[in-house]
Structure 1
């Protein structure tokens, strides 16, 4: 912001507006012309005698800039100047006025801006020099080219920084929620190498070659026949231990059928299966039938 513009904005009051009101008669128009300001819609013809303005009351607050390039870019963009064709005289004058303002309050900060001011004056002086049309002297380009390049690079980085600043940052704009969960020790898996799987597969194939084939024949067994055999065995003795009933049974199918036959006899209450206590011997006898 320029000092003259900032001072004008600071002195302006929404309730105090200078101007001449439109009046229907000549006397109102004359008062409006003589008014120095308007207060709540009424013209003020003269300043109050007891009006006191402290020396520090009208302090001008200028925009904060990140550096000389930021100030220079602000002056160019605010007035819609073509950055490729900068009016150096006007921009340099406005820049120096701002430097004069900050020099009165912060001399160390003004030193950085004075360096850019010297560069602007140098560019302006080079532009004022007459052009030499000499074949032996190489033609010099636009003195503003280097400044324009720096301004464009700075503007590009500034826009990128603004876009990054708008992105939410963890720890600054938000915090990631954390939840502590107690977990036990996971299962320890063995360290298996692919070659171990290959060796296991080769071992399975080697054992498959050693397996001999056998023929399974069909055997017809009768549960009724085994039930009759059990009854004949129990008729000759009072008690028979459970394991003794399976003596002489050669194969597994025969043992299974013999056991099923014994269960069928117990189901039909033809035999009794008793045991005195757990893990004691099991005895089988014929069921008692009254005479």
Structure 2
């Protein structure tokens, strides 16, 4: 196959010159045209091309003339690509067989029966192939997405408040572990005192948050009051978060954790920018 300067592949040769586009209405004699079989979809496509180009009646195919032209086209590529010409040679053998049967006296199963035309099966296959090919061409002419038209797409920028990163349980556990270390450092001795109430610590935390917008996680738990108070205050913090009375926020990954009132309280914390994380 000879490529054109633009990269297209030659379909045939006309008097030795490469032909990159078949003329729609020009009849080219077989001796002047060397067809590359890659331009056809198969032997039926080549046979139908020969019949339609020369305006033969497909119901009365001149087998001798069509067979000669068919063989001349196949012979040009058989020496160079025998595997490609295999299916075409099988069709050539069928054409020769049909021509031979036409030369023999017709055989009838009974004196009243009509002799069967040897070309009937080939004509049926050609007509079916032509119908399928025309249907495929009509489908190909339909507008196709990505070839004939494109879907209009537009995206609008989403403007909204920046979403704060969520706090994972592991980060909360690490913050709690650091507070435990601080509590052990400041603990010098243990004094048994009254029992600590989780509800009391919950109420105390809510009162502290009503006076400010945010409170730092460690500042709200107050580890300097001892290990027992720290544990009870942490349980109170988790209970408030579970009931939706407080929210835990973080400005960015690995940043300090802050606590603020949740929507379930129905209270609005004062807008104190000095406590904003």
TM-score by length of 1: 0.41
Larger radius of gyration: 1
